[in-house]
Amino acid sequence: MPPDLNRSEIVAELTAMSDRYERALGENDIPELDTLFYHGPETVRYGVGETLYGYDEIAAFRRNRTGGSPPRDVLRRHITAIGTDLGTVDLEFRRHGSERIGRQSQTWVRMPDGWKIIAAHVSLMADIS
């Protein structure tokens, strides 16, 4: 039997969580960003220039990153809800002052204390100009 995909109420929850993440990222709200990631060794974040395994490495990266993430505009977002407790958020973005397109993928899982990111990947498209 195929998985239960894209129940409207779950897509709405994931949309709200994605909005919350983008707001925290733009404001460099480290406590909020910390809250949004699952606090365990299973959490992974591959960034543009870093590979981070476990919540502790991710939290340390955020604290040591001067000025936070460069400002960006979200160009496109695609959300897939898988059942009621799992989903993915994929988006394309452009950093201010750049023409390069960035991509971000997040896997969200519902935990007893709410939705958490358990895997994330951020990359920039190659400059083909």
Tens digits of residue pLDDT in 72-124: 999 999 999 999 999 999 999 999 999 999 999 999 999 999 999 999 999 99
Cβ partners under 8 Å of residue 108, min gap 6: 14, 17, 86, 87, 88, 89, 115, 116, 117, 118
Tokens linked to 94 = 């452009």
Q: Is the pLDDT of residue 1 over 70?
A: no
- pLDDT over 70 at 129, yes or no: no
pTM of the model: 0.92
Confidence of residue 127 (pLDDT cuts 50, 70, 90): confident
User: Which segments within the chain are labelled E, that is strand?
Assistant: 44-46, 51-53, 72-82, 86-95, 101-111, 114-124
